[in-house]
Structure 1
Amino acid sequence: MERPLAWRSVTVVAVLLFGVLLALSPSYGYHRDELYFRVLSEHPGWGYVDQPPLTPLLAGAGIRLFGDTITGIRVFPALAMAVLVWLVALIARELDGSRAAQTLAAAGTATGAYTLIAGHSLLTLSFDLPLWAAAILFLLRALLREGEPRWWLAAGAVIGLATYNKHLIALLVLGLAAGLAAVGPRRVLASPWLWAGGLLALALAVPNLIYQVANDWPQLSMAAALSADKGAEQRMLFVPMQLTLFGPAVSVIAAFGFVRLWRDRRVRALAVAYPVAAALTLIAGGRFDYTGGLVLLLFAAGCVSAAAAARGVRLAAGAGLAFSGLLSALLALPLVPVAELAETPVPVLNEVARESVGWPEFVAAAQSARAAVPPAEQATAMVFTGSYGEHGALVRAGVPRVYSAHNHLWLFGPPPDTATTAVLVNVGPRIRGQFGTCEPRATVGNRAGVDNEEQGLTVWLCRDLRTPWSVSWPRWRHFS
């Protein structure tokens, strides 16, 4: 018999989370990825060289529906986290979790560090987490409800749709396949419903594959660049960050959840999926949050065990999640005043907060350099930035003729060859060497004093272009 649904308590948690995220959404500033997605949303397509189309599409939808503001672009991420809370509670219920287990799973998910980060800013993570959770829920139903194999089709549909946000859902598929092959139940592999679900996922993902083939597999180039750039760092951070992705209490409960899944032969394959996905991430030098969806599965399973344990265990689990949630909120949400941010460990531990500060100062520095361009050259002068966040910040501020060779933005170039005067920021001496003269005109700072990628950058004013942009443009393309 299916457990009763704790719809009141789970709804309260989801609504409170949504309200808090929206209330805090104007704090700090845009994250660099949000500024990039805002630009990409104006160029809709089946894909981009560094990602599928869903997140930029939702960025554009948020702007059109709720306004071109920082809150407008963050409504959908906040809503996605509210949905995530419900999905994790349903996963706990599917694993025979009581109302208490479902509530515990909802509360722990809502107060997790990565939940709060993904809900506060528009990131690909914001939509990947609920998509993974929905796929896992349907996979559990397919494995646990032997008389209802149609859930393989539901799982396949979600997995196929998830490829339009990130291709990382393949880690879940590979992990499950390895688990079924290694520990069973292997009879599932003979189910026509499973293979129908797989074909449905593949059919839905075909436009992604066509885009990759037609554009010479740019995602592979992007993955190789990321691994070469930060692969070693990501491997070093992987284990400690697994323990803190959603807070230390979530990780402890998730460990018990792994044991619970392992003991149930029907879903043991999903327990195996986590170490398989972790190993693949480590080998590829991927980000430590790639396993986040499976961590939440283990946590939901652990909540079922915790809620069924002795009263002391239940109290300890609740107290641990409350303390962990407080730490996560201080780290993940914009609760520290901007003026005091640099004096705390938040910028070191939270990259999203660190890279959301200082954009007004960056824009002001670039505009001051552009104002120094002689009037006769203003009509053709351009701005060239080294990163997509910088490009997006200037476009958002209404600065004309902004170009960048970073990731997908390279395809929007080159600048016209008549742009012989340029403001350059965050570029190396090779590009400056294309001009007859270059002089520093401004230095980027920020009022918070936060040490991020923009802090301390020199803004250059360069004139007398030696090599036409149409000739040199292929040299400047870079992925990161």
Structure 2
Amino acid sequence: MPSLAWRPLTVVAALLSALLLALSPLYGYHRDELYFRYLAEHPAWGYVDQPPLTPMLAKVSIALFGDTLTGLRIPAVLSTVVLILVVALITRELGGEGRAQVLAAAGIGTGAFTLIAGHSLLTLSADLPLWSAAILFVLRVLLRGDGRWWLAAGAVIGVATYNKHLIALLVIGLAAGVLAVGPRRILRDPWLWAGAALAVLVAAPNLLFQAMNGWPQLEMAAALSADKGAEMRALFVPMQIVLFGPVVAFVAARGWLRLWRDERLRCLAVAYPVAAALTLISGGRFDYTAGLIILLFCAGVTQGLGPALAANGVFCAIVGLPLIPVSLVGMTPVPQVNEVVRESIGWPEFTAAVRSAVQTLTPEERARAVLLAGSYGEAGALHLAGGLPPVYSGHSQLHAYGPPPESADVAVAVKYPRGGLETVFQTCVEHGRVDNAAGVDNEFRGLPVLVCRGLRMPWSAAWPRFQEYS
């Protein structure tokens, strides 16, 4: 077994961490981060649209490092450090010497998706190291013949369910591979079933929450598939190349061939197309296969790739990090390629537009007013802004934190259709529209800000109309 290249790996981790921390205050919060910050004030075993891990990471990070953009993002940086260490261990497990370990760590560490996940606190941030750790322990079972590593794999898989239930794709892909191409002897290993039992035990509180609440995430997944399934299917193949950059994709294709030719690891080669097929059938996001692409890249990495991976890293950094000045980024294709950039720009202008509408209210109206936001990002931004009426939203988990008080007969509303609001209020008047100085075309640019008065019905009757999964 090759030794682990600790010193150069530490340098890679330190340089990448310094870069991510230095850039963390730029652009602004991503809409998901605003949501996680909101959910962090309502700790729970789960939410209708996701498990609790990422919101709880937000809560802990804010408590430890302060309620700032950088403070919120420190778990994302730490997750990236863990990821590149695990990538090096996977490469070592596959026989890679020190140089190959460093190339693998640097190649994945500077991949577009890794940089995005390290810059902003997303569910992806913790998902990548969790998937990679589970894959590492499965490799140790297959290559070392020591079934006790199933316990470690089971523990990680159980923990991963608190971040995303998508770790099931890895389990299904691996099971399909073992049944199709072997090695089937591992099915007789009691350690395998002990690991599976441990995974279920660790995941039980989260799964119990879902069961007791009618499996809301299944409803959410169906809504997402109906909303964006066709778009995700069309983007799936090209985005497999863009996820970590074209050089990583090329090396990953070579790694797939290596796994296929090794009878011990052929089941892992099968896991990728199985996960890809399930993603396409369900209309899931193209990044659901990211963890397996990391494995394929580690299997394919060889010496001599340094210059190509450096060029790949520069390309990915331009796409994935806030390197372009905010005043210029709207003139580039980056916001169209990178949704995180697109949805991180313009929040000050958004809150200013809403604040301007609030200032038109009389003191008596303001005392009875609420803010209505049709999406969790906008709700999170208004909740963070301060000095405004209380915020309510029917989007995803936030619907559970309503309805507004019955005395609230005045509302400043964004991202709700005027026609729908006028079934609840007697009048709705447009105060203005949201714009951003950068000219980035995102979800809230051009939104009308509506001032509504006079309830037609009690909030207890109206609030169910506001519920939305998307």
TM superposition score category, shorter chain reference: over 0.9
Query: Which of 329, 350, 375 is the aligned partner of 2:363?
Result: 375
**Aligned residue in 2 for 1:21:** 20
Spell out, residue by residue over 1:82-126, the C-alpha distance to the aligned partner (whole angstroms, 9 max, x if none): 110110111000001111110110110111000000000000000
Q: Give matches, 1:282-361, under 5 Å.
A: 282-303=280-301, 306-307=302-303, 314=304, 317-361=305-349
Task: State which of 451, 461, 468 in structure 1 corresponds to 2:458.
Answer: 468
For 2:210 and 2:357, the matched residues in 1 are separated by 39
Q: Are positions 1:418 and 2:407 aligned together?
A: yes
Structure-2 residue corresponding to 1:195: 193
Q: Distance in 2 between matches of 1:462 and 1:244?
A: 44
Give SS of 1:464's match.
Answer: strand
1:216 to 207, 214, 229: 214
Match of 1:310 in 2: none
The letter for the 2-side match of 1:138 is F
2:255 to 242, 254, 257: 257
Q: Deviation of residue 376 (structure 1)?
A: 1.3
1:154 pairs with 2:152: yes
> Helix, strand or coil for the counterpart of 1:293?
helix
Amino acid at match of 2:454: D
Distance 1:245 1:377 in 2: 49
User: Aligned partners of 2:95, 2:389: CA distance in 1, in Å?
Assistant: 58
Kept in 1: contact 2:421–2:428 (CA 8 A): no
Quote the Cα distance in structure 1 between the aligned partners of 2:464 and 2:408.
17
CA apart distance, 1:432: 3.0
- The letter for the 2-side match of 1:18 is S
Partners of 2:5 and 2:423 lie apart in 1 by 65
- Note the 1:80-479 alignment, pairs <5 A: 80-146=79-145, 148-303=146-301, 306-307=302-303, 314=304, 317-398=305-386, 399-428=388-417, 429-479=419-469
Letter in 2 for 1:149: G
Any idea what SS the aligned residue of 1:372 has? Answer: coil
CA distance in 2, matches of 1:96, 1:339: 47
* Cα shift readout 1:187-213 (whole Å, capped 9, x = no counterpart): 011100001000100111111211111
Structure 1 position 339, deviation (Å): 0.4
**How much has 1:184 moved relative to structure 2?**
0.4
Q: Distance in 2 between matches of 1:434 and 1:45?
A: 31
| Aligned match of 1:68 | 67
Q: Which amino acid aligns with 1:233?
A: E
Count the aligned residue pairs.
Answer: 468
CA offset at residue 400 of structure 1?
A: 3.0
Gaps of 5+ in 1: 308-313
Q: Deviations over 1:48-94 (max 9, x none)?
A: 00000000000011111000000000011011011101101110000
Matches of 1:65 and 1:208 in 2, distance apart? 25
Gaps of 5+ in 2: none
Counterpart of 1:45?
44
Paired with 1:422 and 1:4, the residues of 2 have a C-alpha distance of 63
SS in 1 for 2:317: helix
Output the CA distance in 1 between the equivalents of 2:206 and 2:277. Answer: 25
Q: Is the 8 A contact 2:369 2:389 kept in 1?
A: no
Deviations 1:199-236 (A, max 9, x none): 10011111121111111110000000000000000000
Deviates more, 1:274-283 or 1:424-433: 424-433
Determine the C-alpha separation between the residues in 1 that align with 2:15 and 2:389: 41
- Deviation track 1:1-60 (CA, whole Å, cap 9, x = no partner) reads x11111111111111111100000000000000000000000000000000000000001
TM-score, L = length of structure 1 = 0.97
Query: TM-score by structure 2 length?
Result: 0.99
| Partner Cα distance (1:456, 1:235) in 2 | 28
1-structure distance, mates of 2:421, 2:94 = 58
In the other structure, the counterpart of 1:311 is none
1:398-431 deviation line (CA, Å, top 9, x unaligned): 1231100000000000011110111011101212
SS of residue matched to 1:243: helix
The secondary structure found in structure 2 opposite 1:474 is helix
| C-alpha separation in 2, matches of 1:196 and 1:232 | 39
The whole-number CA distance in structure 1 between the counterparts of 2:50 and 2:147 is: 32
How far apart in 2 are the matches of 1:473 and 1:162? 34
Looking at structure 1, the residues matched to 3 and 126 of structure 2 have their Cα atoms a distance apart, in angstroms, of: 28
Residue 397 of structure 1, CA deviation: 0.7
Residue 330 of structure 2 aligns to a residue whose secondary structure is helix
| 8 Å contact kept, 2:366–2:389 | no
Which digits, 9 at most, give the CA deviation of each residue in 1:257-281, with x for residues without a partner?
Answer: 0011111111111111000000000
Distance in 1 between residues matched to 2:422 and 2:122, nearest whole Å: 33
Calculate the aligned-residue CA RMSD, in Å.
Answer: 0.8
Give SS of 2:436's match. coil
Indicate the SS of the match to 1:48: coil
1:355-384 CA distances to partner (integer Å, 9 max, x unpaired)? 000000100111111111121121111010
Query: Residue 463 of structure 1 aligns to a residue in which SS?
Result: strand
